[in-house]
Amino acid sequence: MKIFITSAVAAATLFTGSLAYAQDDFSGQLKARQGQFRIMAINLGILGDMAKGETEYNAEAAQAAADTLVAVSMIQQAPMWPEGSDEMSIDGTRAQTTIWEQTDDFQSKWADFGSAAEAMQASAASGQDALGPLMGQVGGACKACHDDHRAPAD
Amino acid sequence: MKRLIITGALVLTAVAAAGFVLTRAAPLDADRFDSIDGDASRGETVFIASGCASCHAAPDAEGDGKRVLAGGQRFDTDFGTFAAPNISPDREAGIGDWTVTEFASAVTRGVSPEGRHYFPAFPYTSYVHMTDQDVADLWAFWQTLPADATANAAHELAFPFNIRRAIGLWKQIYMPDGFVLSQPETPEVERGRYLVEALAHCGECHTARSALGGMQRSSWLEGAANPSGRGKIPSLVPDDLDWSAKDIAYYLESGFTPEYDSAGGHMVAVIENFAQLPKSDRQAVAAYLKALP
């Protein structure tokens, strides 16, 4: 009998434990939103290295990278940012609670990234000189959001 | 016995006098700037490089609003919360009625026109290296800034950190005698040293502090705990920061790391300033960081 109760308790603990896990760790959402930022970084790298003169300017590659930035800006964000997926509640994220407290501000900063990406898309193929200021605009959008809504790295 | 009392009294008086001298707030000589003319347009560069607006603009100021130095931003530290004061040219609420020497005493010595010590949240242990010409230029530029009537908020500091007189002793320990990098090998490194160690006051965050809150120059720019209590401020010395000089200069211009992550937190304001400086200045900072031991 004692063994049965112990097993039952253990099973119940395991069960509720895994339920809580499935409910609260948001690992799919974290992978998705961090993945989109990674795609942004890779394509900004293509454009930035051309702007810096570290790789040779190539209009076609620049255009493809800019198009990709616009594509990322069109991914709907809300489903990836469920309530409770902030850095105070779970591990593996630097998303500050301000994202949920000041949702309008967060959304408007994401929209600013979209505008900067569109500007990049419109002019990325027009020459290496154009890239510097365009990178500045995208970088400004990144920084503005990270300034308020991303926790410092450990 | 009488003799002992007299000796004791003399010793006490001497200690009190020494304490009085060591803790007093010493302003600069009143005639120090008599023969120096300030240039407002050069002062604008000093203003940007020194990051004055990053702390003294209103908390939510954007764009041109950052030139209104109304104060009000709050800074949480281990010693309490500091509230940035109004330093706009308003004659009542700000510093519009100061002389250039009073301004210089405040910026480079941490001494107010009333002869009080400012708390070292104001980075005068870095600005102490500012040249007189730059201070004069900065003050000339100040006269072009808009006045604002916002009243100052009080600092919220716990005893004993709220004793201003004690800052006199603190300054005896922590006001630097000279630059950390004593022998800059090229004019570029020397310019970078002036930007990093003086105007941009990088050490204030990137150098660890002692229990009394002074910069530990023996571990200069080797990184520190974030004063907000969250995260760590990274080391900038060559052993830890393996970015190329070009990467560092580009980061200061765009906010992008070599991996194309972007800056966050207080570095956003720092980059906003550096992006407005000449490219040669960003390259000078990079050259200086590369020249560190």
Beta bridge partners of B111: B117
Closest-CA distance, A74 to chain B, in angstroms, reads: 20
Region of poorest pLDDT, from A23-32, A97-106, B185-194: A23-32
DSSP B198: I
In chain A, helix, strand, coil percent, each to 5?
Answer: 75, 0, 25
| pLDDT on residue B10 | 62
The beta strand positions in chain B, using DSSP E, are: 74-77, 80-83, 156-157, 224-225, 232-233
The phi and psi torsions of B83 (rounded to 5 degrees) equal: -110, 120
Mean pLDDT of B146-172: 92
For residue B158, what pLDDT band results from cuts at 50, 70 and 90?
confident
Instruction: State pLDDT tens for residues B24-65.
Output: 888 999 899 999 999 999 999 999 999 999 999 999 898 889
Q: Tell me the three state secondary structure of residue A45.
A: helix
Contact across the interface for B253 and A140, Cβ inside 8 Å: no
Do A44 and A69 meet the contact criterion of CB atoms below 8 Å apart? yes
pLDDT at A7: 55
Average pLDDT in chain A? 87
Handedness of CA A40, A43, A45, A51 (dihedral sign): negative
Residues of A in contact with B54 (CB under 8 A): none
The Cα B52–Cα B82 span in angstroms is 15
Read off the amino acid at residue B224.
Answer: A
Are the Cβ atoms of A136 and B231 closer than 8 angstroms?
no
- pLDDT recorded at residue A153: 79
Neighbours of B21 (CB within 10 A): 10
**By C-alpha distance, which of A45, A44, A48, A47 is closest to A62?**
A47
DSSP per residue, A14-69: HHHHHHHHHHH--HHHHHHHHHHHHHHHHHHHHHHHHHHTSS---HHHHHHHHHHH
Cβ atoms of B61 and B52 within 8 Å: the answer is no
Tokens 């990093």, residue located? B196
B223 CB neighbours in chain A (<8 A) are: none
Minimal-distance CA residue of chain A relative to B248: A52
Angle in degrees, 0-180, between the axes of helices B279-291 and B245-254, rounded to the nearest 10 = 130
Q: What percent of chain B has pLDDT over 70?
A: 94
The interface pTM score, or ipTM, of the predicted complex is 0.76
